[in-house]
Structure formats: structure tokens, C-alpha cells
Structure 1
Amino acid sequence: MANTRTIVGAVLQSGIEAAGNSVSRSARHLIRSMALATLAAAGFTSLIGCGNTYRPVVAAINPVGPSSQPSKYAIAMSNPGTGNPGLITIVDFSGDTVLITANIGVDPKYLVLNATGTTGYTINGDGTLNVFGISTSLLTSQILETTLLSDANPVSIFPQGTNTYVSETGRNAIGEFQGSPLALKQELTVTDPVYVVGLSAAPRVYALSGSGGSVSSIETGTNTISSTFNVGTNPVYGIMSADGKRAYIMNKGSGTVSVINVQTNTLDSSTALPTGTIQVGTSPLWADFAPTLSEMAVANAGNGTTNGTLSLISIPLCSALASTTNPNCDTTNPVDATGFGTVLATVPVGVSPVMVSVLQDGTRAYVANSGDTSLPCVSTSTSTATGNCSVSVVNLTSNSVTKTIPLSCRPSYIAATTGTPTGKVYVVCNDSGNLAASQNMTVIETDTDTIDTTIPLQGTGVSVRVTAQ
């Protein structure tokens, strides 16, 4: 096909040149306009005359919808066996698939995530601690390692802003670490420290002295101990409310929960709670909040052969809305509201509960029961779970057990999280009597409260955390 643009261009040029100076500027302009029109028509004819069909191009506009939901993961820690590096396994919440696995120190003991769920911290039996970012592309080479003092014998770790506190029972001290990788800055003297209670933004945290029956207040701004006061016998665990107003200490030896007013840095004292102590069941050792209900759930281990219990406690504080009826209410340092510290129910669960995890929508609590150690978790004749080892599902409206989910091994850790279309509960076991079952993480769906699947961990489960509740 002839090049029409070339032909018309030549005609245009020759027409203009022929006109020269013999015609007016307006005439020359008219000639140019006519020629351009001819060029345009010829160009269009060339397009439709070459045997190809041309269609108008429409640029698609992508619709703008809601922002994507943040990713949620279960972070499981497992122990492959003596002398082998521990493992961190990151599991996708939505698909129950293993996304990545990386090595940490030998004989891992303790796992915790920072407040935003972006960084993990482990304590290992080989005298090291690890720090790693929560990433689906996590490599072993990216995991930072710090070697602790040889006699530290750490039992727990708590990341608090720029400070990271390690409970060093072997040195009767809380080690304060900073930097990347973490480096020891100083040690704060605390007898037999077992746990540090606090929040990432709290002005002070509390170190528990297990054998001393006391707590030491650590001012996070100066990293100094400001006070030490007695709580119950053998404190083992504690939690701090999300507003940073109250801390709750589980005293395993005395069957009580001590309440600390964080603002005044003293044991809480009110008309409802004059001694700052709440009496619960035998051997309280774990707790979790049901924030939508202003309640706290406390797991009581019991005596190891009969059923343990779950204590459900009312813990509301007065608010700005209550100030008209309660002239003593100060929203910056609120007093206990009516009914604070009341045990609403004591719910029997399985034998030897070790942990409780509450769905943050306030519907249910899940209690991991390790069972009577003299009895198996699985029947030798039928190879099915006996119910001795189990998860108790507690309805927080009726305050009753609505289901018991049998497990094939003794649970060591449980973590529950809400979700759509279903929330999930993750359970790991550290059971020498059933190593095969202990090398899998059990996943329970909360819409039916049934076991959905199990996920291989390449070692016995030690702990599991979720990046968001």
C-alpha cells in the first residue's frame, strides 16, 4: 500500500511553494488548511484500508476499594531435640500453611512478641537470646543472637520500647538490654526474678520475685528500681491493663491475685478491695483480659488430680461518664468502679490447666488442660484421645463450659485470635510421652470449636504466639 502520508505531504509542500509570494498570507493559510484536512482524511483511509480492524482503546480505571487487611500469623517455637537448633515456624492465619522456618538457639525455652507483633524474642537453653523480625522471607542469617552471662539462667524476657528486660534467676537480677543486637547495659537486683509485667508504653514495669513474694517497680525512663512491696506467696505471672492503670499478679502459693495501682505505684486499695487482693482458686498461674466485658479470666491449676477452675473477675474502673454519679472519679487516676474485684463465676475446667486465652470479642475463653500426669492422653487400645488432655471452651456470657476438645498430647501453650469467617486457637504440646503428636500444632476453628487441622513443627512444641488478636 502506498505511503499516503508521503504523497499528501508532497502535495502540501508543492502547493505552498507554488503560491510563493504571488498570493496573500490568508490564501496561503487557506491552502495549508485544505491540505491538512486532506492529510487527515488520507491517514484515516490508510488505517481502514490495510486489511486490519482497529478498535477504539478504552483505558480501564481500577476501582478504589477498602484497604487490604493486615496479614496475621501464628509464630510457633519448637525443639527438634538435644543439641539441635530450635525452630521458629511462621504460619499463615488464613490458609494454615507454613510460610517459612528458621533456626534459633539450642533448646528454646521462651517466646514473646513485641507489642506490635513485628518482632520476636526467644530465650534458649544454650545461654543465648534471639531477636528476629516477623517476615515470610525470614532467614536464619537474619536472626540476631546475644550470648548471656554464663550463670544467668534466664526464664523470661519482656521487650518494652527501647528496653528489653530479662529475668536472670541465676544472678538474682533483671538484666536491662538495649541496641541491635541486644547488649547488656546493667543488672537490677531482684531475688529469684521470674517474670516482668508491663506494657510497651508504661512508665514503670514490675519484676516478680518468685520465692520472695514481692514485686519491684522498675521506672522505664531511668531504669531504676523505685520501690519493692509484698504481694502473695510465690507470684508467677502477671498482666497489665491496656490503659496502664492496673497490674494483676497471680500468686500461685496463696491462691490470690494482687492488684497494683500503677499510677500510685502501690497495692490497690478501695472500698470494694481494701487489701488489694482477690481470692481465686487453687494455684492461679495464668490470666487474660476480656476487654469488652471489663473482665479478667484467671486459670487455676488445682491439685493435679481433680478439675482446675477458671475464675472470671469483674475489673471495671470509673470513667468520664461515671463522674456525675461518682464525684471521686478522676479519669487520669481512676478509682475502682462498683463491683471491681468481684468473682463473677468459678468455672470447673479440665485437670491441671496451664493457660487461658480469651477471644478479644469477649465471647469465649479457651483453657489448655495438661491432664492428670498419671493417666495417658491417648487410649492404648483405640489410639484415640481420652479427654484427659484437652481444651475447655468457656462461654463468657453463660460463664459455663460449652465444649471440651480432646487432645492427643499434653498442651504447653495456647493462643486464641478472632477472625473472619472464623477465629482460630493454636495449641502446642511438649509431651515426652507422645512425641509424634507433640511435633504438630493443633488448629481449632472458633465458629464450630472443632479441630480444623494440624501443622508439622519439626520438633516438640514449646510456645505459640499470634501477631494480632
Structure 2
Amino acid sequence: MGILDHLGPRDPGRSAGSTAGPAASSVGSAISTVAVGTDPTAVTVARDGRRTYVANSGSDTVSVIAISVGHAVGTPIPVGSNPRGVAVTPDGLRAYVANVDAGTVSVIDTATGQVTGAPIPVGTNPAGVAVTPEGRRVYVANAGSGTVSVIDTGTGQVVGSPIAVGTNPRAVAVTPDGLRAYITNGGSASVSVIDTGTGQVVGSPIPLGTNPRAVAVTPDGLRAYITDPEADSVSVIDTATGQVTGAAIPVGTNPAGVAVTPDGRRVYVANAGSGTVSVIDTATNQVTGTPVPVGVIPVAVAVTRDGRRAYVANAGSGTVSVIDTATNQVTGTPVPVGAAPAGVAVAPDGGRAYVTSGGANVVSVIDEIDLNELTATVPVGQGPQGVAVTPDSRRVYVTNLNSNSVSVIDTRTDHVTATITGVTSPVGVVVAPDGRHAYVTNNLPGAVSVIDTRTNQVTATIPVGQSPNGLALTPDGHHAYVANRGADTISVIDTGTNRVTATIPVGTFPGTVAVTPDGRRAYVPNDGSGTVSVIDTRTDQVAVTILIAPLAEGSGGSIATDVAVAPDGRRAYVTEFALGTVSVIDTTTKEVIATVPVGNLPHAVAVTPDSRHAYVTIRGADTISVIDTSVFQ
């Protein structure tokens, strides 16, 4: 949410109810600092936890920061029986999963994390799956029927007759130009090549090893790398001649999965029998360095589009290991997924990995974006203040104080798609839990505007107190609490009627407000009093006033500036502009339990959905400080 520039000192006010002084506090520290635009004034985290948005008042931009959460997100997605292969479409909107025992392919909508439509019947025991570069066709290797089925992604139906290949086809890979598909035939020790234009096998199968399994084609389409578990090696096919080139490359025991980096310089091989990953230098076709230890029985591997991470599915330990390809070391701890993970694919945007679990009949989704990396800077209006993300994480609403407008950003493109007028000196903004309305404080007229997010038009204007600044909605969306900085009050709006139902006196210069996840309390930092008022939302009365810090001489107030309550409801985080710190409040005891130095002039604060990190805008340094909140649990 946004906080207008401080208005200067006044005599400290005192709220009703009891007053709690600061307890002996521990001191934490910021774990990361991210450079953003000039004078960052507001920060919010998308509900999916993948991005943080920062409004930069001095540069009229919004910075987008990618967050690494490093764990499986959501509930594993139920699919068919014994899922193995998985592939994601180039636009990242669909994931196709081959269900071996069910003889079907499930289609996952990656936006909702749910299977869409009925499973698509294919051949017997489908194991491998690949999507063409343009995303129009999916090729499925049917191990039990010795065929390849082709699915039209537009209709979700198999097109044409199954294509006969060799015995026990296990894997399929499509060349980057989409003209050829390579299929490994484990039972006939060969590789079949399909012309995707005619849907016919080209020439005779290519003899290869004793039991070819996985296949990956280089980005230039000139070579295909195939694992041979029984020979503990990887063979290379020259796609121009259709012949195996050079000697087989020795790797670890029982090599199963294989993936090529986007630059074509490295090949990663999952060695199921030795619990390692071998790295092949494609310039020499030799293993480089020592094998990378991963989990038990690694069977599949996929590399992110930027080439910086390799994901390894460990069937024996039910985990996924993440390798930093720059160091070829496993980063962090293995990510738990479903039982017997068999296949893994990374979304084109690199934000998520999809892992099939043959023992649990589910697909797990892993979110792993580069830690706190600035990914975009979006120009908006003049003097952006408040920022809020819609519940579906698809749009961001930004209030522009100096241009009397609200910018709407499409998070998929990171571009402004609409500019809303009809507001005056807008500061704070929140979006309703159902995503249908956005509420904006108008500082000078003392009102709240209601925006219909479907039309992006102002539909109502509600008078409140003087100089309204920040605001927050209850979790059910039925009430809005508005901090009237110039009146030392909180207005309570019934969002069903768009009328004020209560006015609550608080401390001096209340700037923002945050409601607890259970909706029972509202926390209000009083900038001029150095306190936080805690409102009981059932009575709309101040229940307790927490003393954050005594006002220092010459501080000009600005002690308690912004507040955010963690999604788990256990902690509240309060920025202290003049002190360069963040206070941590235990919401059960209503006591300050820690004080964290973060930088010069901390302003706004937001907490990630998993409650593990707090993001703080540092106006004196044009940066964001990241706090590891686990030390306060």
C-alpha cells in the first residue's frame, strides 16, 4: 500500500484502551538488498508468491522482483494412473502428462493448477511426451503398443492413426525446427525418426546400443543424445546423416534421463544406478568434472530456459534436486514431491517445474525463480504511491499521486494496459478478495474511490476523513478500514453499501492499516505517536496501543510508518522511517519482540504468502531490503 510523504510533527496522541510498551527485543538483519527505482514508496507481493512489485515515486516506475520460494507449491495435482512423461507448451499455459497404466494423457492448466477436460486416450502404456516448438502438436510414445500418438492441442484430440515405430518406445524429442521427432525403441535397440509433416517414419530405424531410453536434441538440431542404461553410456546421433557418430560416452550407472542446456554446450545425464548426474561437454563429447551427487535413483532431468538450473527427479527418495549449472553443485535441500517421481519439465518462463509422481498419481509443481532478481521496470504515471495485485496475480493496480490516475499492469507482459482517471491525489489501493473491485484513497478531497476491475471505471466515491492514506480490506471483503492521516481516525466502510459505518479515533498521523488473516484485528501505525493502535473489528474500538519507540528529539515523528501482518497471523512488521528499523510484533502478546536494522528511511513493507520473508522499501537508498522472518518464529 502507499504512504504519502510525512506531514510533519504534532503533539503525540494517545489511543483508547490499554497501552503496551516495547519489550526487550532481539535484533535480526536483512538477508538481501535489491536495487530498484528512485524513491521506492510502496511494495506488495503477488498472492502466488512469485513476484514483488515496488512503486518508485521518484522515477515514475514500478519494479518487478522475482522471488525464490524453493519448494513445491500448492497441492499435488491428481492425474491418471502411473504418470511418467511430462511436457509444457511453449506458452507455458498447458502441461501434458503421460499416464502409463491408464493409457491416457492428462492436460493441466498451469494457471489454475488443475486438470482441464477429460483425459485423452492414446496407445498402450504411454511413457514419453513432447510438444512441438509452435505448440500445435503433442507426440506421445506408447511403450506397450509400439506406436506414437499425435495430439492436436487445439482440439485435445488424437489426429490420424497411431504411427508404428519400434518395440517398447520409451521417449520422444522434437527437433527445434519441429520437422522431425526422435523416438527411442528400448525393445528393438533403435531410434525411429518421424517426419512431422507427413506423419511417417523416415527411412529405417537407427541401430543404437542395447536398450536406448531417453533422448534430447541440441538447440541447433544437429545432434541427438540418447541414454543406454544397460551400457552405462550416452550415444550421439548426427541428425543430418541419421547415423551414430563417434564412440559411446561412458557416464554413470544406469543412465536414465538426459537434457541439453539452451546454449547447447552441456548435456546433463541422470544416472539412476549411481545417484549422480554426469555433465557432458558437447564440444568434446566427454564427461567434464566429477559426477554431481543428487538423490536416490535419479531418473529424469530438465534444464531451465536460461540454462542456470537443472532439475533432477529422484525416484527413490521422492525428491527433486536443483543443480546450479554455473558451479554444477546442488543448491539448497532436495524438494519433496510425490512418491516415485518419474518425469520433470520446466515451464518456458523458468518459473516452475512440473514433476510426475508415478507412485502417487500426481504432478507436483515447484516454484523456483532466481532469488530476489529485478526482472522488469514498468513506466507508469507520475508519483506512483500505492500498489496492489489482483487475487489471480494477473494485474497490478498503481496509484499515481501527481497525475491523478491509476495504472493497470498486465503481469504476463509487464506493460500498462489501462490508465484510470476520475481520482484525485490517489495514494493507497487495495483489491477485493474476489478481484471485482479496487478501492483507492483520494488524499485531498478525503474520499475513497471504488473501481470496477472488469471495466476499469470508477463506480462510486465515498467521503471519509481528512487526508486518507492507506487502507485495508477484511478477508471476507465486507469492510474497508481507511487511515485518515489528517484526522487521526480510521473510517470503516461497509463495501456492500459503500457507506461509512464507524469512525475510530487512533494516534497521531495514522498512515496505513493492516487486517489480520482472521479478520478480528486491524493494526494501525501512528507515525506521529510512535505507536500502533490495535482495533477489535467486532466492536470497532481500539483494544490496545503498542508503544514502538519513544519519539526522539528532532525526529519529526515518522516512527511508525507502515505495517504488514504475516499471512500466518503470528507477526506484524512495522517500519520506522526515522530510525532505519523494522519492529516485529507478536500478535498474541501484542509486544515488540525484535528490531531489525534495514537501511536509511524504510518506508513500506509487505510479507510473502508463506510468511518467510518481509520486503521493505528503503527510500534513502533506492533499494529493497529482504528480511528472513524465520528467525522470529
Q: TM-score range by the shorter chain?
A: 0.5 to 0.7
SS of equivalent to 1:196:
strand
| Structure 2 residue 312 is matched with structure 1 residue 354 | no
Q: What does residue 180 of structure 2 align with?
A: 204
Q: Does the C-alpha gap of structure 1 residues 453 and 430 become closer, same or farther in structure 2, counting only changes over 3 Å? A: farther
8 Å CA contact retained: 1:429, 1:441: no
8 Å CA contact retained: 1:426, 1:444: no
In structure 1, what is the Cα distance between the partners aligned to 2:286 and 2:219? 20
Matches within 5 A, 1:1-400: 98=74, 108-124=83-99, 125-131=101-107, 134-136=110-112, 143=117, 145-148=119-122, 152-160=124-132, 162-178=136-152, 180-190=155-165, 191-199=167-175, 201-227=177-203, 228-268=205-245, 274-275=246-247, 277-292=248-263, 294-302=265-273, 307-316=274-283, 340-349=284-293, 350-371=295-316, 392=321, 394-400=323-329
Map Cα deviations across residues 256-282 of structure 1 (whole Å, 9 max, x no partner): 1111222333223xxxxx33x322111
| AA of the residue aligned to 2:143 | T
Displacement after TM superposition at 1:244 (Å): 1.8
| AA of the residue aligned to 1:226 | V
TM-align CA RMSD: 4.6
Displacement after TM superposition at 1:213 (Å): 1.1
8 Å CA contact retained: 1:296, 1:314: yes
| AA of the residue aligned to 1:286 | G
Q: Does the C-alpha gap of structure 1 residues 147 and 360 become closer, same or farther in structure 2, counting only changes over 3 Å? A: closer
8 Å CA contact retained: 1:390, 1:404: no
Displacement after TM superposition at 1:404 (Å): 5.0
8 Å CA contact retained: 2:212, 2:228: yes
Displacement after TM superposition at 1:156 (Å): 2.6
8 Å CA contact retained: 2:76, 2:365: no
| AA of the residue aligned to 1:174 | V
Map Cα deviations across residues 172-197 of structure 1 (whole Å, 9 max, x no partner): 22234446231341232222111112
Map Cα deviations across residues 395-442 of structure 1 (whole Å, 9 max, x no partner): 54444556654859756155667989xx7767675657xx9xx99766
Q: Does the C-alpha gap of structure 1 residues 425 and 195 become closer, same or farther in structure 2, counting only changes over 3 Å? A: closer
Unaligned runs of 5+ in 2: 1-58, 373-608, 612-633
In structure 2, what is the Cα distance between the partners aligned to 1:177 and 1:402? 37
8 Å CA contact retained: 1:309, 1:346: no
Displacement after TM superposition at 1:443 (Å): 5.5
Which moves more between the two structures, 161-170 or 193-202?
161-170
Return the structure number with greater strand share: 2
In structure 1, what is the Cα distance between the partners aligned to 2:77 and 2:312? 29
SS of equivalent to 2:144:
helix
8 Å CA contact retained: 2:319, 2:334: yes
In structure 2, what is the Cα distance between the partners aligned to 1:233 and 1:122? 27
In structure 2, what is the Cα distance between the partners aligned to 1:444 and 1:202? 28
| AA of the residue aligned to 1:356 | V
Q: Does the C-alpha gap of structure 1 residues 252 and 211 become closer, same or farther in structure 2, counting only changes over 3 Å? A: same
Q: What does residue 83 of structure 1 align with?
A: none
In structure 1, what is the Cα distance between the partners aligned to 2:326 and 2:347? 18
Q: Does the C-alpha gap of structure 1 residues 443 and 429 become closer, same or farther in structure 2, counting only changes over 3 Å? A: farther
Return the structure number with greater helix share: 1
Q: Does the C-alpha gap of structure 1 residues 256 and 122 become closer, same or farther in structure 2, counting only changes over 3 Å? A: same
Q: Does the C-alpha gap of structure 1 residues 230 and 446 become closer, same or farther in structure 2, counting only changes over 3 Å? A: same
Q: Does the C-alpha gap of structure 1 residues 207 and 64 become closer, same or farther in structure 2, counting only changes over 3 Å? A: farther
Map Cα deviations across residues 285-320 of structure 1 (whole Å, 9 max, x no partner): 112233357111111112xxxx4222111114xxxx
Largest Rg, 1 or 2: 1
SS of equivalent to 1:221:
coil
Displacement after TM superposition at 1:157 (Å): 2.8
8 Å CA contact retained: 1:443, 1:453: no
Displacement after TM superposition at 1:110 (Å): 4.1
In structure 2, what is the Cα distance between the partners aligned to 1:260 and 1:170? 25
| AA of the residue aligned to 1:352 | I
Q: Aligned pairs, how many?
A: 311
TM-score where L is the length of structure 2 = 0.41
In structure 2, what is the Cα distance between the partners aligned to 1:425 and 1:370? 16
Q: What does residue 383 of structure 2 align with?
A: none
Identity of aligned residues (%): 28
